[in-house]
Amino acid sequence: MSGSQTLRGWLLTDAPTSRRHARLASLYKGWLSLRSNTMAMFGLGILVLLLLTAAFAPVLAPYSWLAQDLGNRLQPLGTEGHLLGTDSLGRDILSRLIYGSRITLYIVALVALIAPIVGLLVGTVAGYAGGWVDVVLMRTTDIFLAFPRLVLALAFVAALGAGIENAVLAISLTAWPPYARIARAETLTIRSSDYIAAIRLQGAGPLRIITKHIWPLCISSLIVRVTLDMAGIILAAAGLGFLGLGAQPPSPEWGAMISEGRRFILDHWWVATMPGLAIFTVSLAFNLLGDGLRDLLDPKDGGQ
């Protein structure tokens, strides 16, 4: 028997010998289930390609994203080595898209770190504490949910000032309420469980119960929601960039590139279309992967 077959059999065993063994076996079985979902793997492949593109942008970009050539402006696709054409300042669109993937990943990563953590804290505290704490936190959450996300993000950016950091903060401030509601719903179900009562009788305090026993059970639902929300986060960031409130020129942010290209949309369609297709592709990839993770981590919801 080969080493790979031995490892596979060890991971697929129904009788794990330790907690670590059980965790690795569960992860491997989950990966096999996800791998059988063609569309989810297609989305994952696009996102892996996006990560590699961002990581090796200096190698992949045929030109500098800042290099201007006014004598070569608004060139169509495939002209003089410019695969996706040039913009109004003669800059290579492909190179700017490649470097713009770094900005997209930067925004997505920061929002994905800030919003779910804030929502998890608020939701679990509200659900476990109950009473006036629950009322105050949930009514605050409802206030944020009462406004459309992009409108609220615009208000925050207008107050904080234009810039990519302020755009990330604004999107994060508008993105956390759904995670808080999910975490609260999970906590209300978990806190009445028998094993939580047993842990409480053993002397565990609220902080230990929340961090050690409630948070791990909320993670899977939050992961699914985060993945599905990535498309909305990308669109919100692109919307802010389109309005001039996100990443500032000459940064190759995709929304700002669309804003610049809208002036030439009729005669030089590729200037705005190419970054639009990039946003569409990445958003679609996150949605496909999110659907696959939902089927894997929450089969009841995925089957509806």
Q: Return the percentage of the chain with pLDDT > 70, whole number.
A: 95
- Residue 140 near residue 147 (C-beta atoms within 8 A): no
Look at residue 19 and tell me if it is in a domain: no
Look at residue 59 and tell me if it is in a domain: no
User: What does the pLDDT look like over 263-298, one tens digit per residue?
Assistant: 888 888 989 999 999 999 999 999 999 888 888 876
Look at residue 224 and tell me if it is in a domain: yes
User: What does the pLDDT look like over 127-174, one tens digit per residue?
Assistant: 888 889 999 999 999 998 888 888 888 888 888 888 888 888 989 888
Look at residue 18 and tell me if it is in a domain: no
Q: Determine the average pLDDT of the residues in 74-101.
A: 88
Residues 6 or more apart whose CB falls under 8 angstroms from that of 249 comprise 256
- Long-range Cβ contact pairs of 76-82 (< 8 A, separation 24 or more): 76/268, 76/270, 77/270
pTM of structure: 0.84
Look at residue 257 and tell me if it is in a domain: yes
CATH number for the domain spanning 286: value is 1.10.3720.10
Instruction: Report pLDDT for 96.
Output: 93
Look at residue 58 and tell me if it is in a domain: no
Instruction: Report pLDDT for 302.
Output: 43
Q: Determine the average pLDDT of the residues in 29-33.
A: 81
Look at residue 280 and tell me if it is in a domain: yes
Domain count, the chain: 1
Look at residue 191 and tell me if it is in a domain: yes
User: What does the pLDDT look like over 199-226, one tens digit per residue?
Assistant: 888 877 788 888 888 888 888 888 888 8
Residue 123 has pLDDT above 80, yes or no: yes
Q: Which residues form the domain of 213?
A: 32-53+83-302
